[in-house]
Each structure stands twice: as structure tokens, then as C-alpha cells.
Amino acid sequence: MPPSLVLSILLGSIAGLLFHSALGRRLWQLPLYWGCAVLGFFGGEVLAVVAGAEMFRLGNVPLAPALAGSLVALGICWFFSTPSPAPAETRARRPGRARR
């Protein structure tokens, strides 16, 4: 396996795991965030190479655009996977008590 591929998977994994430790609420979100971060990292890397915006390279990996792609993918994933808040519970009225 090429070293740049291993580095990309490692950095994408770090981004996904840090995102889950900061904003994750459920255990089922962990593999979802990890996968989105790795795919977003590779997507950002491909877009950087195609656009010629290869900034802050580490070997063959453009770090800034790849991390930006990872964060965009994580933001989209967070938006669609965050559970909605529970509705506020109302107090049950006791039978037999009159309102004043």
C-alpha cells in the first residue's frame, strides 16, 4: 500500500474520531463519522489535485484542501445524523382538581 494512501486514511480517521469525540452523541455515529471523514478527505484531495490548489503538502497529500473536504463531509454527516431533541413534556393534570 502506498505511504500517501496510508497517511490519508490515518489523517481522515483522526479527523473523524476527533469530530465524534467533540460532537458525537450516539455510538452508531462513530463509524458514520469515520467513513464520512475518510471519504471527505479523499474527495478534498482529489479536488485539490484537479484544481491545482495543492497547499501545505505532506509528501503527496495536500493537507489543507483534504482536511477542508473532510470537515465539509463531516458537517453534512452531522447535519443529517444528529437526533432531533425530544419534545418538551407537559405536566399531566390531576383529575378532580379545578383550575382557578
Q: How confident is the model at residue 16 (pLDDT cuts 50, 70, 90)?
A: very high
Instruction: Give the pLDDT of residue 100.
Output: 63
Please determine, for residue 6, whether its predicted confidence score (pLDDT) is greater than 90: yes
Determine the average pLDDT of the residues in 11-32: 92
Query: Can you give the residue ranges of every domain in the chain?
Result: 3-81
Beta bridge partners of 45: none
Give the sign of the dihedral formed by CA 66, CA 72, CA 33, CA 77.
Answer: negative
Give the sign of the dihedral formed by CA 43, CA 48, CA 49, CA 54.
Answer: negative
Q: What is each CA distance from 19 to 70, 75, 76, in whole angstroms?
A: 10, 9, 12
Whether the pTM exceeds 0.95: the reply is no
Predicted confidence (pLDDT) per residue in 28-85, tens digit: 989 999 999 999 999 999 999 899 887 888 888 899 999 999 999 999 999 998 877 7
State the Cα–Cα distance between residues 16 and 59, nearest whole angstrom: 21
